[in-house]
Chain A
Amino acid sequence: MTKKLIFRISIAVNIILAIVFVFTLPKAVESLNFEYVEQDTIRPDTLRAYLERENYGTVAAISRAIRGGAEIDPRDEDYYRLGEYGELLFLKEVYDRAGNLETLKEAEGRMEDIRNRMPEYDAVFDKIDQSAANAVRK
């Protein structure tokens, strides 16, 4: 009787442990996925929300990782590229005044390349251009 009871209890504990294991395993596997770490906290929907709200400076700041060589999920890359464009536009003025002419030329080339690769975002690019122009103190 005692042995049967112990056996039943151990089966119940095993079932509970198996359920816990099934729930914890996917999380562990997902967290070990070696993609760009910032994407854990800065989700593409965050970027999208800032884009929709026309907060282009914030988009530029939080997508900077792509300028450091971060690998971005191809589905989210466009948002990060818009941010890269915004940041380069912001820094263009700085490079120009600092006399970094080669860097300036490189930044302009990169911006042109981004624009050409994403023609469907022309309207957004125009707004980013306008926001950068407005940001400069006259």
Chain B
Amino acid sequence: MKCVGCGAEIGLTDKVCPHCGRKNTETAGYRSDMERLKKDSEKTKKKIGEILSENIPIVISAFCMLLLLISVLVTIYVSENAYSFRENAKRKESVKQYDEYSAVIRKYLDAGDYTGFAAFKEYHNIAHWEEPYEDLNLICDMADYYSSMVSAVEEATMFGPEARRYDPESDISNCHRAIQRFYDEFDYRLSDIDSDPYRDNIYDMKAKADIIMEVYLGLDEEGRKSYFSESSIRQEAYLEEVLMND
């Protein structure tokens, strides 16, 4: 605004003109309003400060509660899902290490070590049903059945002279089921096996299963034919007779 006395530019809150020294009565109302508003604002600030300081312990406590609640939920979630975290990590690693793992797999297959191959695949959590391992899909399935059969025959046949077996009947039942599963799957998937890139390995696996049947269960080619033509109950009875009469 301009001073009424000298016409110089002065501020709204100036009480006198800094140029001519004339009292600025024109903005007296404005100045008193400003002072009142300042006082009101300070009062409000003080009040807010009081309210805040009164509630700070509750606010801190609520914040801690929220943090603790989140922490507890996170630890529970991690505990419950740790298995899948580990499996996913291994699966990602198996994709990353494809070249190295493929070379190891090739070694197992060339050696005809299908139980070692199944153990390697399981330990490294190789997802054989998807890229880049999907060509191994069928042989992986068959190696799992073959491994189960080997395990079951081992459990039913290999024990020391003074062995105390937990449940021999159950071992024999498991053995019967595992054998049946491998041979059933082989027959059922025969057309897929014939067109599979690992066809020769799967046939080799079957030949090894035949040898296991012959060496550890006394079933040569004729014996196997006769065994598989029998009912499930008679097959199990045969195994019981062979394995329990040691």
Per the CB 8 Å criterion, the residue count for chain A at the interface is: 58
Which residue on B lies nearest to A106, using beta carbons?
A: B111
Q: Contact check, A3 vs B55: say whether CB atoms are below 8 A apart.
A: yes
| Binary contact track A20-45/B, C-beta < 8 Å → 1, others 0 | 11001101100110101100000000
With A53-B165, A57-B159, A58-B155 known as contacts, the answer to whether A17 contacts B72 (CB < 8 A) is: yes
Report how far A12 CA is from B166 CA in the complex, Å.
Answer: 51
- Whether the Cβ atoms of B58 and A103 lie closer than 8 Å is no
Q: Complex Cα distance A55/B51, Å?
A: 75
Find out whether the CB atom of B65 lies under 8 angstroms from the CB atom of A68. Answer: no
* Docked-complex contact A21 and B71, CB < 8 angstroms: yes
- Restricting to B56-111, which residues have a CB under 8 Å from any CB of A? 57-58, 61-62, 64-65, 68-69, 71-72, 75-76, 78-79, 82-83, 85-87, 89, 104, 111
Size bin of chain B's contact surface? 35 or more
CB pair A67–B164 under 8 Å, yes or no, is no
B161 at the A/B interface (Cβ < 8 Å)? yes
In the complex, whether B208 has a CB less than 8 A from a CB of chain A is: yes
A residues near B, CB below 8 A?
Answer: 3, 6-7, 10-11, 13-14, 17-18, 20-21, 24-25, 27-28, 31-32, 34, 36-37, 53-58, 60-62, 64-70, 86-87, 90-91, 93-95, 97-98, 100, 102-103, 106, 127-128, 130-132, 134-137
Interface residues of B (CB under 8 A from A): 54-55, 57-58, 61-62, 64-65, 68-69, 71-72, 75-76, 78-79, 82-83, 85-87, 89, 104, 111-113, 115-116, 118-124, 147, 150-166, 204, 207-208, 211-212, 214-218, 242, 246
